[in-house]
């Protein structure tokens, strides 16, 4: 592959308001900034990369310590510091370039935020727009036109599948009305992602989580679907690291058994606070690691603790780091799903490419992805109109899933076709 030299950088952002307070990790969002960068190379190529900023996901302590807007501003400053660091650099793959700059950037991100114990996910989120732009530049320089062509050799086996169908995890936040959940089931959704870890003390959290599961399961337990081999609807749970220990999670799972919900649980995402090192192989269900995996070392540590699935978040923690984690999952034959960050429609396609490329989820025999922007953004219709192929069959949910065809795989879901809307964010030079 060619050596690529970066000769120009630029950045911008767009604030997108949410329809309502969006709660997870014990906090609430009201807006999400769309971080957009422009990179040019010595050979005359250029690329535009995007990311949805989520300070609450990146570092919930930072989010709670300042205003929502200031937290977003700090992340945008971090992105620009990273752009400055790569300007003038030469690289062969984005992975190599990010590996080179992350240690120093992490130190600088701590200075920018004033938080010495900054969660490195904050930095990964700040780097995601740059990473996407680097991959598109890499593709342009090397005449690559599909997502599969773009994957470097060491990671090709891990991302070699072509799932023709991807189940959509329908997200259930803390305050979603039960009527909306029932409506989703009637519209064909068959995998439901339940946000656990309600705000409050651990005891309050558990009580609210249990009550919420009861009302959800009562509403869904008589529903069935033709999309799963068993005809059952399935649940995943995501506590975003709110549970202190296994003892408390066992109480939640015991309640799930008591009400008949346990057999519907596919997996439980990231239940524990990050410093928890308890072995989870005796939980009776798949426990999946998400935020706690930053590096390959973290992934191996989670495997040693009995974690049986990985949650990939290429749209939040960079495609570069995601390839590494997906490769470890492949080598150890554990399943992966792709989780959302309430991203914009074009970033949904970046996430969908990964969900299509990993091995099918056992028991469902298809990929799994979360996407919830349509239910959370106030201007989703306008945002969707900026998608290169907004009316394509594969760009829209059908009975709770995405159905992918040859057109999808030929153009990577449109990720290589950056709309003029986003190009217009940057002055022509």
pLDDT of residue 382: 97
Model pLDDT for residues 182-231, shown as the tens digit of each residue? 999 999 999 999 999 999 999 999 999 999 999 999 999 999 999 999 99
Q: How many residues does the chain have?
A: 429
Residue 8 has pLDDT above 60, yes or no: yes
Q: What is the mean pLDDT of residues 89-98?
A: 97
pLDDT class of 121 with cuts at 50, 70, 90: very high
**Average of per-residue pLDDT across 413-425:** 94
pLDDT greater than 90 at residue 145: yes
**Residue 428 confidence (pLDDT) above 70:** no
Model pLDDT for residues 245-282, shown as the tens digit of each residue: 999 999 999 999 999 999 999 999 999 988 899 999 99
Lowest-confidence region among 87-91, 106-110, 302-306, 417-421: 417-421
pLDDT at 21: 87
**Relative orientation angle of helices 319-331 and 345-357, to the nearest 10 degrees:** 20
Q: What is the mean pLDDT of the chain?
A: 96
Domain range summary for the chain, segments of one domain joined by +: 4-145, 153-421
- Share above pLDDT 70 across residues of the chain, in percent, rounded to a whole number: 100
This prediction's pTM: 0.96
What pLDDT, in 10s, does the model give residues 164-187?
A: 999 999 999 888 999 999 999 999
pLDDT higher than threshold 60 for residue 429: no
- CATH number of this structure's domain 4-145, picked from the four choices 1.10.10.410, 3.30.390.10, 3.90.25.10, 3.90.950.20: 3.30.390.10
The pLDDT score that the predictor gives to residue 308 is 98
Within a 10 A sphere around the Cβ of 37, how many other Cβ atoms? 28
CATH placement of domain 153-421: 3.20.20.120
pLDDT of residue 186: 97
Section 145-151 average pLDDT: 97
Give the model confidence (pLDDT) of 292-325 as tens digits.
Answer: 998 999 999 999 999 999 999 999 999 999 999 9
């Amino acid at each position: 592959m060619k050596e690529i030299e970066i000769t120009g950088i630029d950045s911008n952002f767009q604030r997108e308001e949410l329809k309502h307070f969006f709660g997870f990790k014990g906090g609430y969002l009201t807006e999400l900034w769309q971080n957009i960068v422009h990179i040019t190379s010595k050979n005359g190529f250029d690329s535009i990369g995007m990311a949805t900023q989520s300070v609450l996901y990146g570092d919930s302590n930072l989010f709670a310590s300042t205003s929502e807007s200031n937290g977003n501003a700090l992340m945008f400053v971090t992105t620009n510091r990273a752009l400055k660091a790569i300007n003038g650099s030469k690289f062969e793959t984005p992975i190599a370039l990010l590996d080179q700059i992350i240690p120093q950037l992490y130190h600088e991100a701590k200075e920018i935020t004033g938080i010495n114990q900054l969660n490195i996910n904050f930095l990964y989120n700040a780097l995601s727009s740059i990473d996407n732009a680097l991959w598109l530049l890499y593709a342009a320089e090397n005449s690559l036109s599909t997502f599969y062509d773009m994957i470097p050799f060491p990671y090709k086996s891990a991302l070699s599948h072509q799932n023709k169908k991807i189940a959509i995890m329908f997200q259930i936040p803390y305050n979603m009305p039960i009527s909306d959940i029932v409506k989703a089931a009637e519209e064909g959704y068959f995998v439901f992602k339940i946000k656990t870890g309600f705000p409050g003390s651990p005891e309050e959290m558990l009580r609210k989580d249990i009550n919420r599961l009861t009302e959800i399961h009562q509403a869904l337990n008589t529903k069935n679907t033709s999309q799963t081999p068993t005809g059952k609807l399935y649940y995943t749970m995501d506590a975003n690291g709110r549970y202190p220990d296994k003892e408390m999670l066992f109480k939640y799972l015991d309640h799930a058994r008591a009400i008949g919900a346990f057999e519907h649980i596919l997996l439980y995402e990231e239940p524990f606070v990050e410093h928890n090192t308890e072995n989870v192989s005796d939980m009776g269900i798949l426990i999946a690691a998400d935020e706690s995996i930053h590096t390959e070392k973290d992934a191996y540590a989670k495997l040693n603790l009995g974690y049986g699935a990985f949650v990939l978040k290429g749209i939040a923690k960079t495609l570069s780091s995601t390839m590494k984690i997906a490769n470890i999952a492949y080598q150890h034959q554990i399943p992966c799903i792709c989780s959302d960050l309430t991203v914009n429609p074009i970033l949904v396609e970046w996430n969908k490419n990964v969900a299509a490329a990993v091995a099918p989820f056992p028991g469902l025999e298809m990929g799994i992805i979360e996407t919830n922007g349509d239910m959370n953004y106030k201007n989703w219709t306008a945002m969707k109109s900026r998608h290169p192929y907004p009316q394509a069959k594969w760009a829209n949910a059908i009975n709770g899933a995405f159905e992918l065809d040859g057109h999808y795989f030929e153009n990577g879901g449109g990720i290589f076709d950056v709309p003029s809307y986003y190009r217009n964010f940057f002055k022509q030079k």
